[in-house]
Amino acid sequence: MLNCPRRGLVMAMPSDIEAKTRATTPVASPMPDAETEARRFIDPSGKLLQPVTKAWAPPEQLERLYHAMVLTRAFDEKAIALQHTGRLGTYPSSLGQEAVAVGIAAGMAAEDILLPAFREHGAQLWRGVAMLELLLYWGGDERGSDFKKARVDFPVSIPVAAHFPHAAGVALALRLKATRNVAVCVGGDGATSKGDFYEAINIAGAWKLPAVFVVNNNQWAISVPVHAQTAARTLAQKAVAAGIEMDRVDGNDVLAVLDAVERAAARARSGDGPTLIEAVTYRLGDHTTSDNARRYRSDEEVSRHWIEEPIARLRAHLTNTGYWTKEREEDLHSQCSAAVEEAVAAYLATAAEPPSAMFDHLFATLPAPLKRQCDLATAEATSHD
């Protein structure tokens, strides 16, 4: 099968206006000013700014979060290498955004339902999706969406914001079933520029649905910066129009993201309705492997944000406490590398499905036009055997 991710088109802008906007408007910093402060527990130097909740205070728990982020980055690096050598389809890196994904998943209950966009590899891994399954999906094999463990979680959503209304529907279903579970939906800053986003948070607010909407604000919707998408001072403020709670956190601080999701989920479980969380971070890599971010932003801009990246931040904190050592660090990287290589070996050894598999889950009985296409695809594949 071919991997053909469908790109959600965020917005179109005439080239002259776009050029003028970039030339006259500075790129927004992911670290906000005092009027729009994002909550954080750990600063970029690793200094603890406020007490951590009892459940996550032990260093062993912080190590779990650190391990998950390091594993996510190791997987990310390998996936990009596979794509560059023609063994994986178009792939979206989560470089620099690991704290958002891991923090979201760590803040959820096991029975909650995750509706990811396409950059939440760390959240999926935390919740039990296998690296082999992720590789199969990004290699164009839909068997990768048939999760063995995370059975209630939704698959990757490539079209921008299309899954936000789905999250509202899931939350309604959870309400009707009288469960205490919560739907957690994740999208990028570009998702907040789509009608699907507004429709979802509006109906979720009107019906007080048990939902948590997280905006992974990495400052760029492909090549469109946040300031060109909206005049709002923050994306969290978009919750006001929907009449729902809002929160804004430092998306490079895994503890801040975790805390925000835990708080929002607790409100939803108590019947107090949905929350919109903005996690302010920065996309250190290209939008996907088919993108070249140097066409629209400078290396100097990217370099400024490396000092805020989440893995170095938590490592600094663990080191400052005396818990983390060079030996532990080396051992962790060895473990993660071995786990990734094992998954890659299994992926490369997995036989591809026949072309007819793309028709398997569309209809109980294929309509005649699709049946003809399926037969033609099968015949073409057989002629090359």
Tokens encoding 132 = 């082999």
Per DSSP, the three-state class of 184 is strand
Superfamily per CATH, domain 30-353: Thiamin diphosphate (ThDP)-binding fold, Pyr/PP domains (3.40.50.970)
pLDDT score of 23: 39
Quick one: pLDDT at residue 264?
A: 98
Residue 178, pLDDT score: 97
Q: Which of 132, 129, 131, 139 is nearest to 91 (CA)?
A: 139
Residue 384 has a pLDDT of 77
Count helices and strands (H / E) in the chain: 14, 7
3-state SS assignment for residue 276: strand
Report residue 365 as tokens: 């009985």
From residue 198, give the alpha-carbon distance in Å to each of 238, 267, 274, 311. Answer: 9, 21, 13, 32
- What integer pLDDT is reported at residue 35 of this predicted model? 45
pLDDT of residue 381: 87
pLDDT of residue 274: 98
Structure confidence at residue 200 (pLDDT): 98
Residue ranges of the chain with pLDDT lower than 50? 1-35
Question: In the chain, which segments carry CATH 3.40.50.970?
Answer: 30-353
Amino acid at 36: T
Q: Give the residue numbers annotated as catalytic, written as ranges.
A: 283, 287, 296
Residues whose CB falls within 8 Å of the CB of residue 134, separated by 6 or more in sequence, listed in order: 75, 79, 121, 124, 125, 144
Rounded to an integer, what distance in angstroms lies between the CA atom of residue 383 and that of residue 175?
A: 52
User: What local confidence, expressed as pLDDT, does residue 383 receive?
Assistant: 84
Measured between alpha carbons, how far is 164 from 198 in angstroms, rounded to an integer?
9
